[in-house]
Structure 1
Amino acid sequence: MTYKEPIFDVAQLSHVEIFSPRMDESLHFFKNLLGLSETERDGNSVYLRAYEDFYHHSLKLTYRETPGLGHVGWRSSSPQALERRVQSLEASGLGKGWIEGDRGYGKAYEFVTPDGHPQRILWDVEYYQAPEDQKTKLLSRPQRRPTRGVPVRRLDHVNLLASDVTKNKQFFIDHLGFNLREHIELDDGREGGAWLSVSPLVHEIAFLGDRTGKGNRLHHIAFWYGYPQHLADISDIFVEEGIRIEAGPGKHGVSQAMFLYVFEPGGNRVELFGDAGYLIFDPAWKPLKWTQDQIEEAIIWFGSPLPNEYFIYGTPHDTPPYQAGK
């Protein structure tokens, strides 16, 4: 069998920008409950990172009147790799052009998915330097573990709602070198969801079919704990703080990951990963296909069923999350 030559030009998910109409409440959620650290402020934006994220920031929180996705940032594997991906993106017709960069990183190339989700790819990054009172003796960690809330360890992935899962999936495969890890095929032949990565992780990006038909929306961003017990720990805090838990703790069939879904106060859905699921090291990995009669096990391996709003609500949305699905 002949295998397509892999593309290793995209190294990792670098950061995500999301919008919030309630900045103070959103900052309390991310900083005091999830333990993210603030590295900088600029205008209407605050730059945040988890304690095992090595760069200047992994989350950019920006004020807007409606919640949603600002952009997804990807880091290339070299300056040369960046140029190769830009050539491919320009040929795709979905490239938007170069920008000078942002706080924490240099020149970046902007593009969009076939659905229109804003993306950036870059190489030059600023590495986080902890202040004296946050330095750690653990050399493999960029800062001391915070003592606020139940701190997440790193940004894990982003999940986007798409009007056409296959078209968006194939774009990431053809132009960015992503590998399809798992997907759901519906009875009519359409793909209901696709999970892709450039690393041994099961996914750094996923696309779910948007049942509203709108597409170009954010389903969720996800942070990683590595310890399932932390999902119960943070759930206690969320209840006390009035943070709405949408679903979980539970376990997905896709990815095998322990999950918890909540709405941050700005209206965006956030997933918390209790463990790593499984890792993929096989260079000839054959994507796992779940069929429509297997969807229940794919979405929920164990735990309570997901509410209907999980498959409908994304940001931006016509109603806030406490009304969605009602």
Structure 2
Amino acid sequence: MADKKRYEELINILDQYSYDYYVIDNPTVEDAEYDQKMQELLKIEEAHPEWVTPESPSKRVGGEVLEGFTKVAHDTPMLSLANAFNRDDLADFDRRIRDKVGDDIAYMCELKIDGLAVSLQYENGKYKQGATRGDGTVGEDITANLRTIRSIPMKLQKDFSIEVRGEAFMPKRSFQKLNEIREEEGQMLFANPRNAAAGSLRQLDTKIAASRNLDIFLYAVADFGEMGVTTHSEGLDMLETLGLKVNKERRLCNNLEEVYAYIDEWTEKRAELAYDIDGIVLKLNDLEQQRQMGTTVKSPRWSIAYKFPAEEVPTKL
């Protein structure tokens, strides 16, 4: 007779293993240990299907076949960012900020992950729904497919009801492996990891999505103000304390010279990353200053995306 207390213990153990491995990149057990615990969990679930919840680690392997994707209205619009292509564009952005809020400013600089913008809803700390950005106002419900991304926690460290935003992406290694398999099977290759990630999250068979080994970085909350923080950087730190995966390469910059140094550094080092980036995002760090700057219909006035120049590669004609 299976013990429900043991079942709940296994869920907590497996969640911790996943957090260590997928979120903080610090595995604490061998794969065999994880597999043994997972098999024990599956046997209990087979004997007691009434105990199984959507937060169970067993749900991450997929298996659900969807009929289609329903539409999801975003309570807070998921705005796109205006682009900067050179230092003059960044200087203009900085000037507009200073004209409005003064010179006491700082920018949180983050790598611009080349993936698919998504929204995650948590209710009382439990993962409830995931959606694509769509047109910014209405996206598609991809809850089941996002559940297969092992770096997305099914339960937060605190019982927060919160909507977080981030970028789902396909790591370079997963992309290479996927295209090798497709080539062997005579299928058309994906052009880049971004297209592969988008295609994976729109699979009606969740087992296929699970097999693609996607990842995610979270970078925002629909309303950081509700978390009791006053700066974007504090908000990102709090996301980490909740068990969410936030990119470690972010940097707080106090002026444009520091911003330029950050851009130069990652222009040089971007090929060393395990995932694709296509630029750098600047965000005014102070949330009250963000509120003062406001938004346009399409974009926040307090943030901008510096886009890397197109990479030149030799080709034979």
TM over 0.5: no
Name the structure where helix makes up a greater proportion of residues.
2
* Range of TM-score over shorter length: under 0.3
TM-score (norm 2): 0.26
Identify the structure with bigger relative contact order (alpha carbons < 8 Å, sequence gap 6+). Answer: 2
Q: Please report the TM-score for the alignment, with normalisation by the length of structure 1.
A: 0.26
